[in-house]
Amino acid sequence: MAYLDNIRTFVRVYELSNMSAAARDLRISAAVASTRISQLEEHLNVRLFQRTTRLLNPTEQGNLFYQGASKILESVDEAEAVVNNVTQTPRGSLYVAAPLGLGQRLVAPAVPKFHAAYPLINIRLRLSDRKLDLAAEGLDAAFFLGVPEDSNLRIRKITDCPRVLCASPEYIAQHGKPQSSDDLKTEKHNCLNLRYPGAPEFQWPLQTEDGLKRVTVTGPFETDHGDVLTSWALDGHGIVLKPEFEIIEHLQSGTLIPVLEKEPPVPIQMACLYVHRRHQDPKARLFIDFMIEQIMMSMPKRGTGARPAVQLPR
């Protein structure tokens, strides 16, 4: 198993381009990961990575070896999956990603429940609002909001999530409620935006009497962290576009108030992406099926964010 462990370590280091990150994923020390790579290089009599104090880049031989090594691990995983499927005792690790809001509120709470049902399966969950490359980062599945760009991935739609334009009572008292989507484009209102490299949405799509309208909005603040946007909105800094499930408690308490209710945002798709394989690992199918069921049970029912009108300060 030592040689296979060395290959598995090499593949994770290659995919993450970082020795420490790969070691954390494999639950070993960075020193052990480095030793395994050195043993593999000694066995092959080639250098697989060019190492500097800041960078870890694969050599030409490393790129070639990765192609074969990843196929070896995939074949081993498929063989183990067949055995696990027969014995009904799935085991191993799953690497999963999700956006921060979706991951914190709907995915992470269900992970311990899944592990209780399948104690031999370990879940490695990464939460990030940035765009992820499943294949390059070695992910088995990724939950997301929106429309994927990569047609080579398989997709399991979960549901369409209602979204809300909202702001704090203090913001509305100071700036007034926008009366139409055109008001969002004026200097009177600040719009809080989620921006990151490769972000697919730079406009707010609204449902109007004339059909879909994409409103280009600007504001003094933007961030790649969804919860920071919510905090800014709660502090009275602007109008924010959020999935209803992320801010349901604030809508119910009145700390955030819906605006432009006659021109609501278009719902956003929630789905799960996974890399297509000829024989998908049964534990990945188990996890995705389990999580979709749990997410649907945890989603607030449509319209639960509504509340009586709040008396605003004059």
Contact 238, 171 (CB under 8 A): yes
For residues 83-99, give the mean pLDDT. 76
Burial (CB count within 10 angstroms: exposed 0-12, middle 13-18, buried 19+), residue 236: middle
- Residue 180 sits in a domain of what CATH number? 3.40.190.10
Q: Is 204 a member of any domain?
A: yes
Q: Is 116 a member of any domain?
A: no
- Residue 22 sits in a domain of what CATH number? 1.10.10.10
Maximum C-alpha span of the chain: 77
Q: Which of 46, 63, 88 is the last residue of a domain?
A: 88
Q: Which of 88, 112, 133 is the last residue of a domain?
A: 88
Q: Which of 231, 250, 266 is the last residue of a domain?
A: 266
Separation CA 162–CA 269 (nearest Å):
9
Q: What is the pLDDT of residue 295?
A: 92
- Beta pairing, strands 211-215 & 204-208: antiparallel
Q: Is 58 a member of any domain?
A: yes
The reply to whether 174 and 258 lie within a common domain is: yes
Q: Is 273 a member of any domain?
A: no
pLDDT digits 0-9 by tens, 59-84? 999 999 998 998 888 888 777 766 66
Which domain does 66 fall in, by range? 1-88
- Decide: pTM greater than 0.85: no
The reply to whether 73 and 167 lie within a common domain is: no
How many structural domains comprise the chain?
Answer: 2
The three-point CA angle 81-93-102 to 5° equals 115
